[in-house]
Structure 1
Amino acid sequence: MSERPAKRRRVELSLDDKVKIINKYESLPKPTLQSLSDSFGIGKSTVSDIIKKRDTYKSQYENNANVGKRRFNNACKFDRLNELVWQWFCQARAKNIPVSGPIIEEKASAFAKELSITDFKGSSGWLDRWKARYSIKGFKVSGESAGVDGAVVENYRERIPEIVGDYSPEDV
């Protein structure tokens, strides 16, 4: 009886790794699947699958998907709704509008009504998954700093020595 070759261990690549493979593939003049599979320690068929889906992976990467995530369930019941909420969120952030979880849930519910989605519940579970999908860690925006007049700040800075003048340096 001949001995079977050792089975290769399954390798789960992150989105970041897949984009690196795609970039290397596109940057080399004549890349081979074998050279890419050797340099990343994966099979040729895996490299081939990544290259075939490169538009999808690039799109996810550009849309701020979680780069460390290893598996993507691309099918989502509320894809259009999620995309609309993401676009609204980006516009609100660009205008330095403070946004919180309940505000996003409310906006998502409004979009669901417009899209005639009746089974949507803007719950905290949906919000958590939405934040993970778009790699949003928190909602704090320094929106107040964007609304402060620079002349007022400068005027106050000039007055600080006058305000603290009666105190010793140890007490300031």
Structure 2
Amino acid sequence: MKTLPLILILSLVFSCNSSAQKKANASSTTNDFKVTKTDAEWKAQLTAEQYYVLRQAGTERAFSSPLNDNHEVGTYVCAACKTPLYKSEHKFDSGTGWPSFDRVIEGNVAFSTDKKLGFMRNEEHCANCGGHLGHVFDDGPKRTTGKRHCINGVALEFVPAKK
């Protein structure tokens, strides 16, 4: 009789994580983007690491991107579709190992909720092609926006300002 409450609790836990909910969560981050391609087209265009991050919502290894230490003046664009996403004047050293910005170029970045790690995070996507960029947190510079847009460097390309 003591095992009955345990069985009921386990049944409740597993029933709350049904495949229907997983499908609903997966589709809640999909949008209609201006640039759409098949997986084969994305794989042909992107490097393996870019594909992993941009199309499969992966994360590059911390401190692996040369863009993390880039201090030139210019614009960071989506590596997949070249949409301008972040300006160099809004970049700061967060110490996290990923390029960090305190704001986006308005209208060019889309946001969704990511629950993959068991808690909610605000995920960032290119608003033009839907490529996964990273996440935004509330621990950025207090003197500006207070936001830290923690972005995978492999999801970006840097375009220097014209002199």
> TM-score, length-normalised on structure 2?
0.22
Higher relative contact order (CA 8 A, sep 6+): 2
Higher strand share: 2
